[in-house]
Structure 1
Amino acid sequence: MIGMSTFVLIHGAGDSGWSWHLVADALRARGHDAVTPDLPEGEGADLTTYADAVVEAAGDRRDLVVVGHSFGAFTAPLVADRIGADALVLVAGMIPVPGERPGDWGGGAGYRDAVREQAARDGGRTGNDDPDVCFYHDVPRDLAEEAKRRERAHPSETAAAEPWPLAAWPAVPTRFLLCVQDRCFPPGLFRRLVPERLGITPDEIDAGHCVALSRPVELADRLHGYAP
């Protein structure tokens, strides 16, 4: 039987904790707790600064499941390692390797080739410069407009240029959920990269990149199932 957990929900680039609000509500309805911090803005902030903010927001809560979306995957393992999380979940997450700079991730992960190949198949929707085409295509219009209004200057150039600091992936049970309709990170990219970098097979959800806004109940169901 799944017990009550606290889900520490870490947003991606340009986002805020608000991006998780529907998922957090759905998790609370299932008897869990949820923490949705805003990661700091400003050029003085780096990956350690982001992890510090999340650890502070988690406080002395226990039974923790750390979840990182997109760029939040650079922060989530740092947090999981520091707080002794029970589980770590990446949702369409940019899986880092030790010493990798976030700004170099696209080349090292094969991202650019994957986008080019998928864009050739879908008529240029993948990697499109229009956020309504690439990110919010399956998000209700009112939520998409609010998300764009709330966009923030995160991450900093400092964080993007900093080597990922862990010497190895934390010893925390890890799951990965890819989004089948993702036009930012093509599903084929993660079907290859997740086994290579994490040694696991990714799970899949029928949604675009901003799954926390487009399929919040379904995402909460998946996260509930990942709780110890």
Structure 2
Amino acid sequence: MSRRAGAGREDVGTSFLLVPGAGGRAWYWHRLVPELERRGHRAVAVDLPAGDDAAGLEAYAAVATAALDALVAGGDGADGDAVVVGQSMGGLTAPLVAARRPVRLLVLLNAMVPRPGETGGEWWDAVGQAAARDDLARSQERAVDADPDADFSHDVPPEVWAAGAEHAFAQSGTPFTEPWPLATWPDVPTRVLAGRDDRFFPPALQRRVARERLGLEVGEVPGGHLCALSRPEALAAALDGLVAQTSSRHADRT
């Protein structure tokens, strides 16, 4: 495995668990994984049971946690050094993983930030997502009733977006009906990243929600809602930078 120079030691790259949004497709991350590997990291993207109406948040968390366990078991890094990244709807699942296992960092990327007891279905009105999307469209002189797919894919290369059709899963509504189960946010360093061109979760919305719900500021990365598909190099560089800025829990204990 690739190694990176650490402070006074030879350091292995960080292990990333990549949790996708609605549809649960590991494929969403396929352009980011090689960029992280090129920087000396390990990365595994997880397929969630998005098409299973019997699967709720517990099932999503169990699948993602198992993937994290396998990732850590197969690596050279210290226990607790993994980074969990949740994109969009993955913001419901990623914190559940971080609450179950020691991790170095939790990253929310254009993500839903739930409150305890709030359902995913309630989140949209609670944060004012539709109004924020419409306000951004008006400010950019775009139609407010545009096809939502355009808000997802407007900056994704057409050939990449077309290739995704064969990997598409239907998204069950079951996880959106369940109250988010944690009583508090997990005690894990958390960072929030917003695509500066996100039309679906506009950056202004993400900044407000992150401040109100987590007391955190938002870092911006190039690209829209699906920036792992549209700007994988820039996203990998941003994630690499977050790792460099964040001390591992293992290092803190030693």
The two structures share one fold, judged by TM-score above 0.5: yes
The answer for the alignment partner of 1:170 in structure 2 is 186
- Percent identical pairs in the alignment equals 42
Residue among 102, 116, 119 paired with 1:98: 116
Tell whether 2:160 aligns with 1:160: no
Equivalent runs, 1:59-208 vs 2, <5 Å: 59-60=69-70, 61=72, 62=79, 63-124=81-142, 128-131=146-149, 133-154=150-171, 156-208=172-224
Residue among 20, 25, 30 paired with 1:16: 25
Contact 1:27 1:220 in 2 (8 A): yes
The answer for the alignment partner of 1:55 in structure 2 is 65
Deviations 1:179-225 (A, max 9, x none): 11111111110121111111111000121111001000110111111
Letter in 2 for 1:105: W
Residue among 38, 50, 57 paired with 1:29: 38
Matches of 2:153 and 2:134, distance apart in 1: 20
Alpha-carbon shift at residue 53 of structure 1 (Å): 0.4
Gaps of 5+ in 1: none
Matches of 1:162 and 1:174, distance apart in 2: 23
Q: Secondary structure at the match of 2:153?
A: coil
Q: How many residues align?
A: 226
Deviations 1:145-166 (A, max 9, x none): 1123322122x22211000000
- RMSD over aligned CA atoms reads 1.6
Matches of 1:213 and 1:79, distance apart in 2: 24
Gaps of 5+ in 2: 1-5, 73-78, 247-254
Alpha-carbon shift at residue 31 of structure 1 (Å): 1.3
Matches of 1:80 and 1:130, distance apart in 2: 30
Matches of 2:178 and 2:145, distance apart in 1: 25
Q: 1:195 to 1:3 in 2, by over 3 A?
A: farther
Matches of 2:139 and 2:129, distance apart in 1: 16
Q: TM-score, normalised by structure 2?
A: 0.85
Residue among 34, 38, 46 paired with 2:47: 38
Contact 1:125 1:134 in 2 (8 A): no
Contact 2:194 2:203 in 1 (8 A): yes
Contact 1:127 1:183 in 2 (8 A): no
Q: 1:55 to 1:195 in 2, by over 3 A?
A: same
Q: 1:125 to 1:26 in 2, by over 3 A?
A: farther
Structure with greater Cα Rg: 2
Matches of 1:212 and 1:161, distance apart in 2: 27
Instruction: State the structure with bigger RCO (CA 8 A, min sep 6), 1 or 2.
Output: 1
Contact 1:126 1:184 in 2 (8 A): no
The answer for the alignment partner of 1:221 in structure 2 is 237
Q: Secondary structure at the match of 1:59?
A: helix
